[in-house]
Amino acid sequence: MSEFKHSTLRRLLLRVTAFAAPALLVAGFAGEAAAQKQLTVWHAYRGGEKAAFEKAVNAFNEANKAAGISAKTLAVPYDAYADKISAAVPRGTGPDVFIFAQDRLGGWIEAGNIVEPVDFYIDDQVKGRFLPNMMEAVTYRNTAYGLPFNFKSIAMIYNKKAVASPPKTTKELVEWAKKNTDSGSGKYGLGYVYGDFFYHAAVMNAFGGGVFKQEGAAALPTATVNQPANIKSVDLVMKWYKDDKILPAEPSTALITSLFNEGKTNIVFSGPWFLGEVDKSIEVGVTNLPTVDEAGGAPMKPWMTIEGLYISAQSKNKEAAYDLIKYLTSDEAAKVMAVEGRQLPSNKSAFAIPEIANDPVMSGFRKQADTAVPMPNYAVMTLMWSPVTTAMNKIVKGTSAPQAAFDEAQKSLTTDIDALRKTR
C-alpha cells in the first residue's frame, strides 16, 4: 500500500519537475530580455477616443525608443474598471498607469497602495499647462495624485434655428422660456434633468451651496446638505417647474432627448454625452449656463468630472510612468485627443488649435469650464448619491417639501459619515 503511494508520488514529482524546469528557464530568459521599461496603461475608451489614445501612446513610444521605454494600452470595459483597479493594483497585478474620473480618487487613496503621489515630479511648467481648477480634481488632502487628462461638464445646449441669441441670465431665460412654452402641445421652454442631483449642482453652486464642508486636511468632510443655500437653489428650480411652468414633469434623460429632437424644447442643460443622441438635422449651439439673478448674478457652476492619469503605487517604473502621463497631457497629445478623439483636454493649448477654436461645440464647453467646478473627490462621495437622489425624487414628485427632504438626507448622510469618523 505505502509502497504504491510512494512510487506514484515520486513519479508525479518527476513529471512536475520535468515540465516546470524548462518553463522556469524560459521565464528566466524572458525576464532577462525585457530589461527595457515596459509600461501598461489601462483605459476604458472605445471607438474614436480609443484610436486617438493609442495614437498618442504610440507617439510617446516612438519618442522614447532610445530610452528603452515603451507603453502598451489595454482597454478595460467601463463597468468593471473601478473594481478591477481596487482589486488588482494593491496586489501588484495592475497597470502602471490608469485613467479614471476623480470621483473614486479619495476612496483609493484612503484604501492605500493604489495611487502614487506625484507632487514631487510636477513642476510649474506642467502645472501651468492646464485650465484653471483642473489640478484641484486630482489633489487630495493637499497632495497631487495625478495629472488631469480631460473634463466633462454640463453647459447650455440649444437649437440654433430656434434660439437666435441664447439667454445670458435666468431672468432672460425664464422670459424666453415662458414665451416658448405651450403645455397643450407639450412644448417646454427649458429642459433638463433637474431631479438628478448632478445636474442640479450647477444651480446649487451658483447660490454658494454644497453638500460637504471640509475642515483642515480631514479626510472626512462635514455634510451640509440642508444648508439654506441648497434649499434656496431647489426653491428656484421648483418655481420654474410649478409657477413658471417652463420645465416638463418627471424629467429623464430620455425625455429631454426626445423633446429636443422633436423641437419641443430648444434649450437644454446637458453635457457632451447628449450630443451623440441629438438628431443630425439639428444645428446645435453650446454656450455657458446662465447667471442666476436670484443668487446675485453669480454664474451657474456645474460639476466637472475630470479624468485623471494616475500612476500605480505598485508600478516598478514610476519615473517612466510619470514621463508618459506628462507626455499625454502635453500640447501634442492634447491636440490628438481633441481633434481625433473629440475629447475636451485639460491642456489649455488644445483650444488654440484652429480646428478646435472654430468648433462651436468644443469651444462652448471650453468656455463653461471657466465657471465650472470639479466635483469633490472625497472618499465619502459614494455615500452622498443615494440620500440626495432620494431627496430630489421626493421634491420633484411633490411628496415632500425641500427643507424636509434635505433634512432627512442630511441626517442619513451624517449618520453614515459618523460611522466612519467615530473610530478610535
Partner 1 sequence: MRTTRFPGLDAGLGLLFGLILFFGMSLWFVSLENQNARREAEVRKTTVAAMSLAETVAALETVGAPPEALAPAIEKWREGDALVRDVRLVRQQGAQLVYSSVAADAAKGALPRRLVREEKPLFDLTGQLRGNVESNRAEGYRLPEAPVEGVRDDLLRVTVPIFVGDAYWGIAQVERERSTPAAGGDYGRAGLMLAVAVGVFFALAFVLRAVPLGLPDRWVHLAAVGVLLAVVAVLFGRYELQQLASYEKARASEVAATYQGFSASSQAAAAQVGATVPSTVPLDVDQFRRPLGQIGPDGQLNVPKLDESVSDNVGAIRDQLWWTGLLAAGLAALFALGQMRRLAETVREHRSAYSYVLPAIVGMLLLVFFPFTYGVMLSFTDRTLLNQGVPLTELWVGLDNYVKILGHFDVIRWTADGWSVNYESFYWTLFITICWTVSNVAIGVTLGLMLALALNTENLRGRAIYRVLLILPWAIPNYITALIWKGMFHQQFGVINQAIVMFGGEPVQWFDDVFTSFITGLATNAWLSFPFMMVVSLGALQSIPTDMYEAAKLDGATRWQQFWSITLPLLKPALIPAIILSVVWTFNMFNVIYLVSGGEPAGANEILITKAYKLAFERYQYAYAAAYSFVIFLILLAYGVFQNKVSKATEQVR
Given the rule CB under 8 A, which residues bind partner 1? 1, 107, 110-112, 117, 119-121, 141-143, 215-220, 250, 252, 254, 318-319, 379-380, 382-383, 386, 389-390, 393-394, 399-401, 404, 412, 416, 419-424
Q: Distance (Å, rounded) from C-alpha 197 to C-alpha 402?
A: 13
Residue closer to partner 1, measured from CB, 104 or 366: 104
Q: Which residues contact 150 (CB under 8 A, 6 or more apart)?
A: 306, 307, 337, 343, 344, 345, 346
The string of DSSP codes covering 4-15 is HHHHHHHHHHHH
> What would the grid cell of residue 169 be?
441670465
Residue closer to partner 1, measured from CB, 319 or 370: 319
Residue closer to partner 1, measured from CB, 107 or 208: 107
Q: Distance (Å, rounded) from C-alpha 305 to C-alpha 374?
A: 6
Residue closer to partner 1, measured from CB, 76 or 289: 76
Work out how close the CB of 288 gets to partner 1 at its nearest, in angstroms, rounded to a whole number: 29
Q: Which residues contact 105 (CB under 8 A, 6 or more apart)?
A: 115, 137, 138, 140, 145, 146, 308, 310, 377
Work out how close the CB of 268 gets to partner 1 at its nearest, in angstroms, rounded to a whole number: 16
Residue closer to partner 1, measured from CB, 259 or 350: 259
- Dihedral sign (CA 137, 276, 195, 293): positive
Residue closer to partner 1, measured from CB, 75 or 255: 255
Residue closer to partner 1, measured from CB, 111 or 298: 111
Q: Which residues contact 85 (CB under 8 A, 6 or more apart)?
A: 42, 94, 98, 100, 104, 108, 114
Work out how close the CB of 396 gets to partner 1 at its nearest, in angstroms, rounded to a whole number: 11
Q: In 3D, which of 52, 103, 97, 62 has the Cα closest to residue 76?
A: 97
Work out how close the CB of 84 gets to partner 1 at its nearest, in angstroms, rounded to a whole number: 13
Q: How crowded is residue 87: how many other Cβ atoms within 10 Å of its Cβ?
A: 12
Work out how close the CB of 363 gets to partner 1 at its nearest, in angstroms, rounded to a whole number: 31
Residue closer to partner 1, measured from CB, 32 or 250: 250
Q: Distance (Å, rounded) from C-alpha 356 to C-alpha 332?
A: 14
Residue closer to partner 1, measured from CB, 18 or 217: 217
Work out how close the CB of 101 gets to partner 1 at its nearest, in angstroms, rounded to a whole number: 16
Work out how close the CB of 400 gets to partner 1 at its nearest, in angstroms, rounded to a whole number: 5
Q: Distance (Å, rounded) from C-alpha 268 to C-alpha 399?
A: 26
Work out how close the CB of 273 gets to partner 1 at its nearest, in angstroms, rounded to a whole number: 15
Work out how close the CB of 21 gets to partner 1 at its nearest, in angstroms, rounded to a whole number: 25
Long-range own/partner contacts, residues 121-125 (CB < 8 A, 24 or more apart): 121/319, 121/322, 121/326, 122/147
Give the 3-state secondary structure of 20-73: HHHHHHHHHHHHHHCCCEEEEEEECCCHHHHHHHHHHHHHHHHHCCCCCEEEEE
Contact between residue 248 and residue 183 where contact means Cβ atoms under 8 Å apart: no
